[in-house]
Amino acid sequence: MTKNEYIENAEQSLLHTYVRYPVVFERGEGMYLYDTDGKRYLDCYAGIAVLAFGHADKKYNQELKKQIDHVIHVSNLFYNVPAVEASEKLLAVSEMDRVFFTNSGTEAIEGALKAARKYRYQRTGKNDGEIIAMEHSFHGRSMGAVSVTGTEHYRTPFEPLIGGVRFATFNDLESVKQAVTDKTCAILLETVQGEGGIYPAKPGFLQGVRKLCDEKDILLILDEIQCGMGRTGKMFAWQHYGVKPDILTTAKALGCGVPVGAFLMTERVAADSLAPGDHGTTYGGNPLACAAVSTVLDLFKERDILSHVNEITPYLEERLDALVDAYPCIEARRGLGFMQGLAFAEDTPASEIASAAIENGLLVITAGSNVLRIVPPLIIERTHIDEMIRILKNVLDGRKG
């Protein structure tokens, strides 16, 4: 089939919940994707921060093929070897004590919310727990995750949502304190806001929220679905701040393409929250997904991915900062590690920049109201950054003309 035929067939069969770019990808290799016409694209969005090792990594593929030949699924009525191995490795790098594997980041948020409310119920006997979430946050598309997503247009069509949710201002500690009541059981936030526009938490804010939680026996839930798994130069972004959560959510690069997520917690929370019968999933923690997790964590260690991120980040930031200085339409750069955003002026829509970049063979996406989001595979090198900057300059110079 031709590209147009694929697109026409998709438009006839798939539910229209996405506005897709008119590109049909056929294969990938390393930092590049190739469409059905053979055109090559430099991938600087990594399937939305998923593909830490880029495309068609041989070691990753080999390990998954091995697992397929062993066993793919047994359900959680039994133990399986990859789940045990993956849990041990993930707990070691996350510094948490217990893990529950899910099928997605959204499901990880759902589990975290249930654990927080069960924790309050166990300790007080009351089922009135409230959650404080942040404005401009994004936590997923399910009813529970939408309920704690701090952007109104995501919530309005689906109301009434779950109750007991209050919103505070990210990086404003006083706003959080004002939202606390005697029913507050958890404070939920992204360590680096992603969809909201690439905003890292300020150290004083995160430390203040942790102190507030400790004083009032409130659980701190950190959503690191996008900013975790090495993207910021630490395995998890909270490790930059030394502010450990009570519950942590992760997904995206956890499986590097295989759909898998997880929520993790401290032993204190685990001992007083979810018990047998409280939560479950048929596919969560299945052998194939956990083989992916186990392999990903092995490759992070074998290839010293964190050192690479920290080595290359200054060059990435330097080249992006030079763009900010050269083009008045770019107002700022912000981010951590390989999670960067360029904030554009209102008269230069980031969506148009992204579309033009894609036409020129560069895959980038948007975030927030007008931010170009750059979340490349963690294997990106200086030469790829130079190629990205060259294409972005061509796009921006073209707008001047």
Residue 352 maps to a domain: yes
Residue 400 has a pLDDT of 67
Domain shared by 236 and 345, yes or no: no
| Angle of the 382-400 helix axis to the 305-326 helix axis, nearest 10 | 20
Residue 143 maps to a domain: yes
Q: What is the mean pLDDT of residues 45-51?
A: 98
| Angle of the 287-302 helix axis to the 305-326 helix axis, nearest 10 | 80
* 113-151 confidence digits (pLDDT tens): 999 999 999 999 999 999 999 999 999 999 999 999 999
Q: Which helix (H) or strand (E) holds 341?
A: strand 339-344
- Give every CB contact of residue 400 below 8 A, 6+ residues apart in sequence: none
Q: What is the mean pLDDT of residues 43-63?
A: 98
* 320-358 confidence digits (pLDDT tens): 999 999 999 999 999 999 999 999 999 999 999 999 999
The answer to whether residues 138 and 196 touch, using CB atoms and an 8 Å cutoff, is yes
| Secondary structure E strands in 165-274 | 165-168, 184-190, 192-193, 199-200, 219-223, 247-250, 261-265
CATH number at residue 206: 3.40.640.10
What percent of the chain is predicted at pLDDT more than 70? 100
Q: With 60 as the cut, is the pLDDT of residue 214 above it?
A: yes
Q: Among 4-8, 52-56, 171-175, 236-240, which is the least confidently predicted range?
A: 4-8
Q: What is the mean pLDDT of residues 153-157?
A: 95
CATH number at residue 357: 3.90.1150.10
* Structure tokens belonging to residue 370: 């007008």
* Burial status of residue 176 (CB atoms within 10 A of its CB: 0-12, 13-18, 19 or more): buried
What percent of the chain is predicted at pLDDT more than 90? 98
How many other C-beta atoms are found inside a 10 Å radius of the C-beta of residue 383?
9
Average pLDDT, the chain: 97
Q: What is the mean pLDDT of residues 223-237?
A: 98
Domain shared by 291 and 372, yes or no: no
| Angle of the 382-400 helix axis to the 350-359 helix axis, nearest 10 | 110
* 370-391 confidence digits (pLDDT tens): 999 999 999 999 999 999 999 9
Q: What is the mean pLDDT of residues 200-205?
A: 98
User: What's the rounded Cα separation, in Å, for the pair 275 and 294?
Assistant: 25
Place of tokens 């016409």: 37
* 66-114 confidence digits (pLDDT tens): 999 999 999 999 999 999 999 999 999 999 999 999 999 999 999 999 9
Sequence letter at residue 80: N
Residue 129 has a pLDDT of 96
Q: With 60 as the cut, is the pLDDT of residue 401 above it?
A: no
Using CA atoms, how far residue 87 sits from 70, 204, 231, 336, in Å, is: 19, 32, 20, 27
Domain extent, residue 148, equals 71-302
Spatial CA neighbour of 372 closest among 334, 342, 331, 333: 342
Picking from 272, 302, 332, the residue at the C-terminal end of a domain is 302
Domain shared by 192 and 105, yes or no: yes
Write down the H helix ranges in 180-275.
203-216, 238-241, 267-270
* pLDDT confidence bin for 399, thresholds 50/70/90: confident
Domain shared by 143 and 109, yes or no: yes
* pLDDT confidence bin for 236, thresholds 50/70/90: very high
**Overall residue count recorded for the chain in this entry:** 401
